[in-house]
Structure 1
Amino acid sequence: MYLVVGLGNPGDRYDKTRHNVGFDVVDMCEKKYNFSINRTKFKGVYGESSIANEKVIFLKPQTYMNLSGESVRSIIDFYKIPVENIIVIYDDISLEVGRLRIKGKGSAGGHNGIKNIISHLGTDSFSRIKVGIGEPTYDLVEFVTGRFSNEDREIVEKSFEAAVDAVSVIINEGINQAMNKFNSFNAGK
């Protein structure tokens, strides 16, 4: 069993913002794998599907970004999901719009949602799919809670599609194959 977590903030105010790209990718997974994110529990909303005969739970924490670890801890304790079977999808300001970066573990890199997940899990050994949102040219909070320009939105949606494919590759073939395939991906070129 796998857990795919898309990070974001709940509420219409944050819909389609840079900080909510994790939610957007999970929504795209919902369409591709034809399931519904319609259950509310574990401080989040979630749904289930399968990829390559593996049961996969897709979670969107509703705790606000900086407390995402509460939701993740709650659901993995209930379903007994091993940490190495967690895939977290989130925004990264150090990557240009359209880029993806996949990692098998590592520090939070200044991302408070990841910092909170590491704190609640007691380890940084979970897979990540980082979606590039570009470097802020003004206040960080305003930037990440702001929306993409139409041009950037078009580019980033292509990276969402690649992130959906990356989830499948991680589950089917492993993190190293996914890194080899997607770490050079750039929808903006």
Structure 2
Amino acid sequence: MTDGYLIVGLGNPGPEYELTRHNAGFLALDYLADQRGWPLNSEKWQGICGSGRLGAARIFLVKPQTYMNRSGDCVARFADFHRIEAGRILVIHDDLDLPAGKIKVAAKGGAGGHNGIRSLIQQLGSPDFVRLKIGIGRPPRNEDGQGIPIERYVLSAFSGDELELFNSRLPLIQEAAELFISQGVERCMSQINGRTAEQQRP
């Protein structure tokens, strides 16, 4: 196996999805790539990709262009080619079960109803990749307990306040990704997940 790392941002391709809640992973990866000077300027295996270095570590980045429910097709090919084991893959994605703006790192787990994560587990043959979860919250409900259907909610654009909150978390997301690479997942979880909501505020 290689000593490189693969950072994946999940989302859907196309301008109609660009600022939707389900594209939080794409947006976060774009930010990380821009901040680090790792241009996402090539296409391979149905993904937009780039690479760079963090210290001695070689970093590969990819945004699958296969639509969310087939994200694993692209990611598995990258991982196989570069011989990157699951524990060295960091997947950045939206999470309905976290409050909007909350950031959480998990070493492994199930799909939690997320189609992109389900596809990765199936195609990688392992749930042991690391997840950097970006909370988007669940749709609000009215007095009758009715709300926007989940599928419509995640494919809808961030509100102005939500986008402002998301953008304020981008430096924390970058910090989490770099901690994972430089100090490992346990240290990353301790540093990021241990912060209170107040401490996660900009």
Structure 2 residue aligned with 1:166, among 160, 166, 176?
Answer: 176
Aligned residues: CA RMSD:
1.3
Structure 1 residue aligned with 2:155, among 127, 145, 151?
Answer: 145
The corresponding residue for 1:49 is 52
The superposition leaves residues 107-152 of structure 1 with CA deviations (integer Å, 9 ceiling, x where unpaired) of 1111110011000111101100000011123111111011111111
Normalising by the residue count of structure 2, what TM-score does the alignment of the two structures yield? 0.90
- 5+ residue gaps, structure 2, are 141-147
Once the two structures are TM-superposed, the CA of residue 43 in structure 1 deviates from its matched residue by: 1.2
Normalising by the residue count of structure 1, what TM-score does the alignment of the two structures yield? 0.96
Once the two structures are TM-superposed, the CA of residue 53 in structure 1 deviates from its matched residue by: 1.7
Q: Secondary structure at the match of 1:128?
A: strand
Structure 2 residue aligned with 1:177, among 187, 190, 194?
Answer: 187
Residue 108 (str. 1) matches residue 111 (str. 2) = yes
Cα pair distance change 1:73/1:185, threshold 3 Å: farther
Distance 1:25 1:41 in 2: 20
Alignment of 1:113-128 (within 5 A): 113-128=116-131
State the aligned residue count.
189
Once the two structures are TM-superposed, the CA of residue 160 in structure 1 deviates from its matched residue by: 2.3
Larger radius of gyration: 2
The corresponding residue for 1:95 is 98
Once the two structures are TM-superposed, the CA of residue 185 in structure 1 deviates from its matched residue by: 5.4
The corresponding residue for 1:15 is 18
- 5+ residue gaps, structure 1, are none
